[in-house]
């Protein structure tokens, strides 16, 4: 299905009936990545999953957005589709957007899976590498030094950054840089609805310490750490995830 929001064509999947549930995928993914969750819930709920702008089949944002712009678009999408205070299930970047929407009172319940939103703290070696790269990039623009420093900059680009950064292109790479530097921990105490946190014990992208911090700061939150699971904890431990989610949302499986 398709809908136009502020001039952007947004692709989504919707099925089922009953209370609304919205599923938001992570960075670099699409509705296909959360299809198992959608399929689990559709027999029991009015279930919506969305290709966020720039992912899946949806169009890219027209400018460099941050998480608040993504959340604002979702708010308008809910209005147009007549979805009121759904259960929000968000993985990674989708979890971060769920935090922003939940803090505004736009959800009845939150399920956050390996959620983004806590900005990483870096040591001296990281800053030395970053500022060294910036210096080399600057020197590569000076007459007579381009041939010396441009290969250095290119090699650093190839080695540096996450796979998300390397796989992104154009405006989406600039959006990624913006969103990973946001921190939403100040919004966590504003969430006034029951919140279930799922985390993979081996998650290297959003470490379990982030989940423990969210559990402390969200007033009504509980954390489940799934053993032998990584950043896609719901996929790595599907049967346990599904059983706990069914118990939390009170539907049979």
Q: What is the pLDDT of residue 170?
A: 86
Residue labelled with tokens 């398709």: 2
Q: What is the pLDDT of residue 167?
A: 62
Instruction: Determine the pLDDT at residue 229.
Output: 98
For the sheet containing 8-15, what is the strand order? 2-5, 8-15, 46-50, 20-24, 87-91, 109-113, 195-200, 221-226
Q: What is the pTM of this model?
A: 0.85
Tell me what pLDDT residue 120 has: 81
pLDDT of 126: 32
pLDDT at 138: 60
Domain 2-119+183-249 has CATH 3.30.420.40: no
Query: Tens-digit pLDDT profile for the chain (253 aa)?
Result: 999 999 999 999 999 999 999 999 999 999 999 999 999 999 999 999 999 999 999 999 999 999 999 999 999 999 999 999 999 999 999 999 999 999 999 999 999 999 999 998 644 443 344 344 444 456 556 565 556 556 654 655 555 455 655 666 789 999 999 999 999 999 999 999 999 999 999 999 999 999 999 999 999 999 999 999 999 999 999 999 999 999 999 999 8
How much is the pLDDT for 62?
95
* Spatial contact of 244 and 224, defined as CB atoms under 8 Å apart: yes
Domain boundaries, the chain: 2-119+183-249, 124-173
Contacts of 114 (CB under 8 A, 6+ apart): 26, 91, 92, 95, 198, 199, 200, 203, 205, 206, 211, 231, 232, 233
> Helices 67-80 and 93-103 meet at what angle, rounded to 10?
70
Measure the CA–CA gap between 195 and 117, rounded to whole angstroms: 15
Question: For the chain, how big is the Rg over CA atoms in Å?
Answer: 20
């Amino acid at each position: 299905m398709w809908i136009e929001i502020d001039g952007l064509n947004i692709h989504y999947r919707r099925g089922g009936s009953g209370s609304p549930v919205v599923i938001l995928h992570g960075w670099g993914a699409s509705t296909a990545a959360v299809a198992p969750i959608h399929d689990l819930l559709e027999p029991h709920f009015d279930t919506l999953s969305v290709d966020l702008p720039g992912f899946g089949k949806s169009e890219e944002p027209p400018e460099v957005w941050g998480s608040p712009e993504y959340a604002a678009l979702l708010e308008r999408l809910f209005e147009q589709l007549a979805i009121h205070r759904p259960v929000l299930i968000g993985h990674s970047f989708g979890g971060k957007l769920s935090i922003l929407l939940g803090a505004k009172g736009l959800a009845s319940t939150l399920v956050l899976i390996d959620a983004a939103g806590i900005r990483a703290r870096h040591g001296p070696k990281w800053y030395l590498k970053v500022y060294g790269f910036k210096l080399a990039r600057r020197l590569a623009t000076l007459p007579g030094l381009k041939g010396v420093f441009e290969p250095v900059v290119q090699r650093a680009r190839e080695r540096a950054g996450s796979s998300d950064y390397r796989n992104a292109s154009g405006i989406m790479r600039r959006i990624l840089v913006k969103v990973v530097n946001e921190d939403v921990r100040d919004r966590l105490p504003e969430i006034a609805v029951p919140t279930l946190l799922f985390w993979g014990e081996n998650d290297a992208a959003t470490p379990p310490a982030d989940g423990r911090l969210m559990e402390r700061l969200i007033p009504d939150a509980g954390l489940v750490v799934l053993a032998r699971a990584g950043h896609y904890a719901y996929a790595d431990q599907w049967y346990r995830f599904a059983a706990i989610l069914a118990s939390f949302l009170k539907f049979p499986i």
